[in-house]
Amino acid sequence: MHPARLWKALSGGKVQCRLCSHFCRIEKGARGKCGVRVNEGGALFTLAYDRVAAVNIDPVEKKPLYHFLPGSRTFSFATMGCNLSCSFCQNYDLSQPPRLGRDPSGQRATPEGLVAAAQENGCASISYTYSEPTVFFELMQDTARLAVSKGLKNIMVSNGFQSPECLNELGPLIHAANIDLKGFKSEFYVNICGARLDPVKKNLVRIRELGWWLEVTTLLIPGLNDDPAELRELAAFLFSELGANTPWHISRFHPDADMRDRGPTPLSSLETAWTIGKEAGLHYVYVGNVPGDERNSTFCPECGKTVIGRSGFAVLAKNLKNGKCAACGRSVAGVFE
């Protein structure tokens, strides 16, 4: 166990966790909703600080981040645990066991060891990803601090359900984020994800203010969040609150975890969503999880030429000069150096 940060003592030995927007009130001996944070004797501890359950060196495109150091490698890791309970989770074995009462398991790790491994493997960044990095905040914060001191960038891939305090603490440490906007109906967040939509919307706007490079992902699930009217509202929010230069990744659902009662997202739904994103004024809309789809590449918003060609997560060609389209000179949004 490691002392947790961002909590306050309440009366009677209870504590309130201030890490995510659940703001759990936790009795002595009990854990919060995520199952990762425990009240021991009136103080809050994390069970995930030194237990890394997944480590990989990924292309940054896999996060997905398409406009942040494209073609670079990112040292990616996770502990177990998540503060949401999405029934369609595609990383169920990593995210959900602590919620079901199991202690987070994994290899022993330290911030020093993780940063050294990132450097040894020629990575430009470290990604806090796979499960939900909010619930391993202490490890992320210590690793990110050290990474910055060594000249590495930090990437957070998250459901965006942090508390305002948590985002403020991470503000100076994180350089880029991919945040899920899982749908645009409150009932969807409450009934399918065990969370709420409003904090995620507020956090997206806050992340924009913090100046991180931001991309947004929506997993399109047949019959649940693929209604064109809902998608139009979502895309209008991205455009008006986050800006036309915010990349939107529309990702194909495959049956998984507790959601096997429907097939993969039809290609026609992905096409409809893509068109809605473009009609809303977004410059960079991507279709993910569909091998060979040309909408996985980046096109210049001015002349339409391919500026970053991709096949899956591989960058095939970059037609950029100093962050501008090599054909017409129009600036392409992102962090390229």
- Count of residues interacting with ligand SF4 (CB under 6 A): 13
Q: Does 287 bind ligand SF4 (CB under 6 A)?
A: no
Residue 83 or 91 with smaller CB distance to ligand SF4:
83
Instruction: Name the minimum Å distance from CB 45 to ligand SF4.
Output: 11
Residue 159 or 298 with smaller CB distance to ligand SF4:
159
Residue 28 or 278 with smaller CB distance to ligand SF4:
28
Residue 161 or 213 with smaller CB distance to ligand SF4:
161
Binding-site member from 24, 53, 156, 285 for ligand SF4 (CB under 6 A): 24
Q: What angle do CA 23, 188, 77 make, to 5 degrees?
A: 60
Q: Does 32 bind ligand SF4 (CB under 6 A)?
A: yes
| Bridging pattern class, strands 153-158 and 125-128 | parallel
Nearest-angstrom CA–CA distance, 126 and 75: 5
Residue 4 or 300 with smaller CB distance to ligand SF4:
4
The DSSP annotation for 188-241 comes to HHHHHHSS-HHHHHHHHHHHHHHT-EEEEEEEE-TTTT--HHHHHHHHHHIIII
Within 10 angstroms of residue 247's Cβ, the number of other Cβ atoms is: 25
| Contact assessment for residue 265 and residue 225, using Cβ atoms and an 8 Å cutoff | no
Q: Does 252 bind ligand SF4 (CB under 6 A)?
A: no
Q: Does 17 bind ligand SF4 (CB under 6 A)?
A: yes
Which residue has the closest beta carbon to ligand SF4? 32
Nearest-angstrom CA–CA distance, 278 and 281: 5
Nearest-angstrom CA–CA distance, 181 and 197: 8
Residue 19 or 65 with smaller CB distance to ligand SF4:
19
DSSP letter, residue 102: P
Q: Does 38 bind ligand SF4 (CB under 6 A)?
A: no
Binding-site member from 34, 144, 220, 242 for ligand SF4 (CB under 6 A): 34
Q: Does 199 bind ligand SF4 (CB under 6 A)?
A: no
Q: Does 20 bind ligand SF4 (CB under 6 A)?
A: yes
Q: Which positions from 111 through 140 interact with ligand SF4, judged by CB under 6 A?
A: 135
Binding-site member from 83, 91, 96, 203 for ligand SF4 (CB under 6 A): 83
DSSP letter, residue 288: E
Tokens matching residue 252: 């194909």
Instruction: Name the minimum Å distance from CB 265 to ligand SF4.
Output: 29
φ/ψ of residue 103, rounded to 5: -70, 140
Nearest-angstrom CA–CA distance, 335 and 320: 12
Q: Does 33 bind ligand SF4 (CB under 6 A)?
A: yes
Nearest-angstrom CA–CA distance, 80 and 243: 33
Instruction: Name the minimum Å distance from CB 322 to ligand SF4.
Output: 41
Q: Does 19 bind ligand SF4 (CB under 6 A)?
A: yes
Nearest-angstrom CA–CA distance, 209 and 223: 34
CA 10 to centroid of chain Cα atoms = 31
Instruction: Name the minimum Å distance from CB 58 to ligand SF4.
Output: 25
Bond into 222 cis (ω within 30): no
Q: Does 235 bind ligand SF4 (CB under 6 A)?
A: no
* Tokens 């290899």 belong to residue: 107
What is the sign, positive or negative, of the torsion defined by CA atoms of 187, 193, 194, 195? negative
| Candidate segments 20-28, 141-149, 261-269, 298-306, binder of ligand SF4 by CB under 6 A | 20-28
Residue 22 or 67 with smaller CB distance to ligand SF4:
22
Residue 135 or 220 with smaller CB distance to ligand SF4:
135
**Interface with ligand SF4 (CB under 6 A):** 17, 19-20, 22-24, 32-34, 36-37, 83, 135
